[in-house]
Amino acid sequence: MNKENIAVGLDIGTTKIVAMVGKRNEYGKLEILGIGNAKSLGVKRGVVNNITQTIQSIQHAVAQASAESGCKINDVVLGIAGQHIRSIHHQEYITRDKAETVISEIDIDKLIAQVQKLNMLPGEEIIHVLPQEFKVDEEGGIKEPIGMYGRRLEASFHVVVGQSASIRNAGRCVKDSGLELSGLTLEPLASADAVLSQEEKEAGVALIDIGGGTTDLAIFKDGIIRHTAVIPFGGNVITEDIKEGCSIIEKQAEQLKIRFGSAWPGENKDNEIVSIPGLRGQEAKEISLKNLSKIIHARVVEIIDMVFSEIKAYGYDNPRKKLIAGIVLTGGGSELKHIKQLVEYITGIDTRIGYPNEHISGESAKLVSRPLYATAVGLMMESDINNSRSRLYVQEHPGTVKIQAKTEPVGISVETKGIQMNTITDKPQQKNPEDENQEIQVDVEQGTSAYIENRFLGKFIKKFKDFIDKAE
């Protein structure tokens, strides 16, 4: 298989680690070659807090992806998220020595290099430097200044910043898993590439990616990233609330959320109950679906309110900043029943669920036709040679990944309107609320090989990889 066509993304999430391998087919669409999933054991709110467990989960996911795709995975593009991420807006300019020559990429790189020199808070580093609009000799509103004449070149930038330690811990996990880090991408930007169209980005759209540990926001207008934010709450806090509120174990709480959870309690009747088997011979516990929905509703409203505050801070009610394309929900949390309607009710903005299948070929699109794969698909697209923000170089690396898969059976017994259902499987799978006979899935992910040098990330990636190498 031609390695130059291969792309790999690695999504290290709070609940799952996904490695995804793909290539671009003759029709220009990406074709999924393999997916590897592993339960994320060493990550909390998007930040690695147990190096050993995270490495094991990465190796498990990559080994699955490698076996399924038939490709040896050496390099991955890594998604960065977590509550340590913040963004700032910055204006910068340069004065060109020769105004009679046209503006080139060298001038853009000089401008970006100056932004890279910004003084950050102690322990922080710049992850992304994203140009928004340019000015040439005070002529503003320019998206692409290359080829123009002018002496003063100015631009506004969206600068994404993160904690150095958190970023390096994630990089160390990739390195110690036997892989090379070929690129870093902010996860909401990756998700946006996967589920948003260029028309939506032009019109104005807010992407809300509800993950296990965090909820990420990315706002686009006129085709440009305008605002990003990370909310330190996601699907895990909903599960924790169910666990505490219903006095059950975490696995049962997660499965109740997936199978019977709803963000809108008004639809459930008082006599609808589920029966949870007791531990070690204890009596079964009966839980009202209406009470379950009330628990979920309260936490989801809190998360949406926090995201909506960020949208308000962006100034969406300004006619020039209006979100004509509305809100797009993605991530595993967006699969919660009636969450779309609740977001529309709270914000008053048209909302849809974003599926990462627009850029994927027909057959393989079925493999990733769920919002929870949006980030992994976006990272794979970032790794692809045709990605507009990256230049891809193929690089061979020796070594193979070896891992022993370890699964643990889970079970739940549910009773609704007198109907008893028992589910147990050695390989957990995601439960579809509409299909009570389907197995419950827990996690997935995988990887491939390719080397990306991003114009805005190149220097940071090199410095970061040098730091990792010296630490050995």
Q: Is residue 422 part of a domain?
A: no
Q: Is residue 118 part of a domain?
A: yes
Q: Is residue 126 part of a domain?
A: yes
Q: Is residue 336 part of a domain?
A: no
Comparing 260 with 2, the larger pLDDT belongs to 260
Domain boundary among 139, 162, 185: 162
Which of 39-43, 52-56, 285-289, 445-449 tops mean pLDDT?
Answer: 52-56
Q: Where are the alpha helices (DSSP H) in 315-360?
A: 339-347
Sign of CA dihedral 225, 229, 235, 238: negative
Q: State pLDDT tens for residues 173-186.
A: 999 999 988 888 88
Q: What is the DSSP secondary-structure string of 352-364?
A: EE--TTTTB-HHH
Mean pLDDT rounded to a whole number for the chain: 80
Count of other CB atoms within 10 angstroms of residue 107:
17
Q: How far apart are CA 327 and CA 200, in angstroms?
A: 10
Token reading at 178: 């036997």
DSSP structural state of residue 401? -
Give me the torsion for CA of 250, 255, 256, 259, rounded to 10°.
170
Q: How far apart are CA 116 and CA 125, in angstroms?
A: 9
Report the CATH number that the domain containing residue 121 is assigned in CATH: 3.30.1490.110
Q: Which of 85-99, 182-196, 342-356, 424-438 has the lowest mean pLDDT?
A: 424-438
Instruction: Say which residues have a Cβ less than 8 Å from residue 24's Cβ, sequence separation at least 6.
Output: 5, 7, 30, 31, 384, 385, 386
Report the CATH number that the domain containing residue 283 is assigned in CATH: 3.30.420.40
Q: How far apart are CA 17 and CA 419, in angstroms?
A: 35
Q: What is the pLDDT of residue 9?
A: 92
Q: How far apart are CA 135 and CA 111, in angstroms?
A: 12
Q: Is residue 280 part of a domain?
A: yes
Q: Is residue 115 part of a domain?
A: yes
Q: State pLDDT tens for residues 201-232.
A: 999 999 999 998 899 999 999 998 999 998 98
Q: How many domains does the chain have?
A: 2
Q: Kindly provide the residue ranges of all beta strands, DSSP E only, lying in 222-361, ordered along the sequence.
A: 224-231, 273-276, 285-288, 327-330, 351-353
Domain boundary among 261, 280, 298: 298
Domain boundary among 281, 298, 315: 298
Instruction: Say which residues have a Cβ less than 8 Å from residue 2's Cβ, sequence separation at least 6.
Output: none
Q: Domain residues for 280?
A: 235-298
* Phi, psi dihedrals of residue 410, rounded to the nearest 5°: -130, 160
Count of other CB atoms within 10 angstroms of residue 53:
16
Q: Is residue 278 part of a domain?
A: yes
Q: State pLDDT tens for residues 287-306.
A: 889 899 999 999 999 999 99
Q: Which of 108-112, 157-161, 463-467 has the lowest mean pLDDT?
A: 463-467
Q: State pLDDT tens for residues 431-469.
A: 444 443 333 333 323 332 232 234 445 555 555 566 556
Q: How far apart are CA 354 and CA 448, in angstroms?
A: 25
- Mean pLDDT of the 70-76 span: 89
Q: Is residue 111 part of a domain?
A: yes
